[in-house]
Amino acid sequence: MKIKEVSTYLASAGYRNLVLVKVTTDTGLVGWGEATVEGKEVTVAAAVSELERYLVGKDPLSIELHWQRMYRDAFWVGGPILLSAISGVEHALWDIAGQYMHQPIYQLLGGAMRTRIKTYANGWFFGAKTPAEFAERAAATVEKGFRALKWDPFGEAGLFPEREQMDAAVECVRAVREAVGPKIDLLIEVHGRLSVAHAIQMAHELAPFKPFFYEEPVPPENLDALKKVSDAIPIPVATGERLFTKWGYKDLLEKQAAVIIQPDPSHDGGILETKKIAAMAETYYVGVAPHNPNGAVSTAVCLQIDANIPNFLIQEMNIADYDSWVIRLLHKPFAIVDGYIEVPSGPGLGIEVNEEELKKHPYQPRLFSLTDVNSMLREES
């Protein structure tokens, strides 16, 4: 069996474009992966095309070999473009391997630790502007079966927010907590926007609402700053979506600057790389909550990892996709039951991609910045 072709699909989906990778073999087996990078989709697709030149004619089952070659042969190693391209290809190779061996990917990784995956909802708040609107949407999301909610309550706040912005964030969290009750987990996203002092202050003001975690409280460039926040607050700190490969996590884990890491299998190097990162985290008793604001193929990838790794905590789901065409991307969409998803039992990723639906939603160029997206999400209904 040899790789015949590596192709990409770019499809418009809400505030971003999805980047899906399809690897086709000369035996007819096809594997899928996802390499969505908001605002950099065309660049990632070009990187996948460069990788295709190496991959065509190779054995798709030699996954570790191909990963090392794709990574090490690139003089400019690392970063979101190359690693996302590699990740999407790697997913597809694992999908092929599972189908070839008639096993789910998690079985090839060592078997299942669990078959039900605890989830949290992201994207449930679109269009909300006031605490009352956030509360209303939160209650509706719980009605859909979720038992954990993540959102960014900080509006347009920057490194040094005004007191009015800080009070607004507290009131937003208060309203959501009152709407959903004490048994629903609340996960606070900060998008790396606060200074150390303000991150510490806000954590203490939010602590009475018992957040599950406090994500990226300060900008990601300075791990010592993150460590200072983590040591000073009563809320577990989570981070990692903007780190790549096991080397990107080395200093974070050695400094013990966070107790929850969020590797993104569509950006960090893929399925096996995420398992290696999780194994490193296990030695520090750090939990893993894979980052996944991406599409359904990325979710399928995460579920295979979640089933296998011992230190898994909770899985992100972008439920905005459930109100758009993306729900039809898979012939059998994932169902949320009492806050959990069942791991697919089929071979490989256990999914079937609806290519005809994918083709109906062509790429649309978009600018992407945190400010633009926050503004847009507050305008969307």
As a whole number of angstroms, the distance between CA 179 and CA 140 comes to 10
Give the closest residue to 351 by CA, choosing from 33, 36, 24.
Answer: 33
As a whole number of angstroms, the distance between CA 344 and CA 302 comes to 11
33's enclosing H/E stretch is strand 30-34
CB-CB contact of 13 with 321 (8 Å): yes
Give the single-character DSSP code of 343.
P
Question: In terms of DSSP H, where are the helices of 144-237?
Answer: 163-180, 196-206, 223-232
Please count the other Cβ atoms lying within 10 Å of the Cβ belonging to residue 230.
25
Distances (CA, A) of 135 to 141, 155, 157, 190, 335: 10, 15, 20, 18, 23
Give the single-character DSSP code of 312.
B
Q: Give 8's strand partners.
A: 21
Give the single-character DSSP code of 8.
E
Match 């909770």 to its residue by tokens: 314
As a whole number of angstroms, the distance between CA 224 and CA 17 comes to 34
Decide if 66 is catalytic. no
* Torsion over CA: 316, 322, 324, 328 (sign): positive
Out of 91, 198, 267, 291, pick the active-site residue: 291
As a whole number of angstroms, the distance between CA 212 and CA 191 comes to 16
Out of 102, 191, 267, 331, pick the active-site residue: 191
Residue 185 corresponds to which tokens in the numbers above? 């987990």
As a whole number of angstroms, the distance between CA 299 and CA 343 comes to 10
Decide if 91 is catalytic. no
As a whole number of angstroms, the distance between CA 350 and CA 357 comes to 19
Which residues are part of the catalytic machinery? 191, 291
